[in-house]
Structure 1
């Protein structure tokens, strides 16, 4: 089950965190994985680990917000079967505390970056007779989160793009779904705690963990397992869906 043998997958932001976990599990299940990162050195560790296990992986330095750069990379990769739109950045702020430059930066990466990859990837999926797209949304797209105005706005757009693409390309054998995680224990979380709470990291880590009713953060590999399922033939009847993976956050916190 869940074999991706003879499939070619592109994972944006695949050098660390959730992206790395997804790239690793797709490669483990037989896919030839192509990692797109802002800098090639950022993908080096993931690439080395995947290749060390005897699996196929390649990396490309590319800013997903740069339209021409994205097209160039996808042309280099050629026909594909799977696209994982994972690359994104975070931002903390309310509507009246989010500066214009920060808002534009989040939109440029988290919204335009997804559009750019969809634009470049769909013709490559057609060359394979169809395929699968998985977009990384967030519970921020589903419910109100404090101090996450720009990020929530962007992830809401990602969820909407997912539904639009699913409807537009269902006749071309292209499935499109999204995943909406709650808090995941990634290097971003560790960096956030180190920067903002250097004197009480364990206490704040526990507090952030307990915001999920299940009592902990997700592990990147758990998001990777869901992405694997959605990319597999076992999920061939699924398109136009968003999957909260949130330890009960969206349903049990009310």
Structure 2
């Protein structure tokens, strides 16, 4: 097995968009550090990705826990690995009315979607700044561009990720580091099951869900082209464009009707 110089670290890499991104990096001869909670799933994914002739390092980490997010950098450095590309892909939602949802679950969503992104970005960005090179891809969402009743905390976290990514990009614009935000819409992954929103009107039409491979390709190409952000999918581009000229109160009401349960 050839040990290529470049490494990409991808969180949430065993399924969905993260797995499809891992395949694209592997095809371009990047070694991989893949992060997820389940070691058996990591092992199966590593076996799949190793067929591309690259090295795959697995890290079983629970990114709902801040200390585990912090430990990733130290473990990577201990193995003598330099991360050229950081992909903050792991994320999860919590479906339901804010007044009814479990606060501990929502705080964990904030730790996963926001805190782990900040922790990993700060750690690896410092190395990128020191060598004046690197790429960061953050998974935002078109959810971050609109208020999201029935997913108020999730939409809020993705708004943070988008704002954070754009600000960080401006801070490093005079370097050889690029920072890109990927904004998918509803995608055919396990997200809705994990969020407990399978009864939502928004996910009943399976044909309307994006293919995670298509989303990953859009994000990968935008990252490699050094773009600031990319909205994946024509329908989602139209939705974001219309959202830019629609009052937030109206957007919130529209989103509420789309995301409420079928029996409402």
**Structure-1-length-normalised TM-score:** 0.81
Equivalent residue for 1:208, pick from 194, 205, 209 = 205
SS state at 1:55 partner? coil
Whether 1:248 aligns to 2:235 is yes
CA deviation after TM superposition for structure 1 residue 228, in Å:
2.0
Cα root mean square deviation, aligned = 2.6
Please show how residues 1-254 of structure 1 align to structure 2 within 5 Å: 6-77=5-76, 78-189=81-192, 196=198, 207-209=204-206, 216-232=208-224, 235-236=225-226, 238=227, 241-249=228-236, 251-252=238-239
Contact 2:140 2:181 in 1 (8 A): yes
Contact 2:147 2:156 in 1 (8 A): no
Contact 2:64 2:109 in 1 (8 A): no
Inter-partner Cα distance in structure 2 for 1:164 and 1:148: 24
Counterparts in 2 of 1:227 and 1:246: CA distance versus 1, 3 Å:
closer
Contact 1:140 1:156 in 2 (8 A): yes
CA deviation after TM superposition for structure 1 residue 79, in Å:
1.9
Contact 2:142 2:183 in 1 (8 A): yes
CA deviation after TM superposition for structure 1 residue 112, in Å:
0.6
Counterparts in 2 of 1:151 and 1:249: CA distance versus 1, 3 Å:
same
Give the total of aligned pairs.
233
Counterparts in 2 of 1:218 and 1:44: CA distance versus 1, 3 Å:
same
CA deviation after TM superposition for structure 1 residue 206, in Å:
7.8
Q: How big is each residue's C-alpha offset from its partner over 1:43-91, in whole Å with a ceiling of 9 and x where there is no partner? A: 2222111012323221101223444433432233232110100011111
**Structure-2-length-normalised TM-score:** 0.78
Inter-partner Cα distance in structure 2 for 1:245 and 1:83: 19
Q: Which runs of 5+ in 1 are unaligned?
A: 198-203, 210-214
CA deviation after TM superposition for structure 1 residue 93, in Å:
2.0
Inter-partner Cα distance in structure 1 for 2:141 and 2:205: 16
SS state at 1:108 partner? helix
Inter-partner Cα distance in structure 2 for 1:8 and 1:163: 24
Instruction: Give the stretch that moved more between structures: 118-127 or 136-145.
Output: 118-127
SS state at 1:11 partner? strand
Inter-partner Cα distance in structure 2 for 1:231 and 1:244: 12
Instruction: Give the stretch that moved more between structures: 68-77 or 45-54.
Output: 68-77
Counterparts in 2 of 1:127 and 1:46: CA distance versus 1, 3 Å:
farther
Inter-partner Cα distance in structure 1 for 2:7 and 2:130: 12
CA deviation after TM superposition for structure 1 residue 252, in Å:
4.9
Inter-partner Cα distance in structure 2 for 1:120 and 1:65: 17
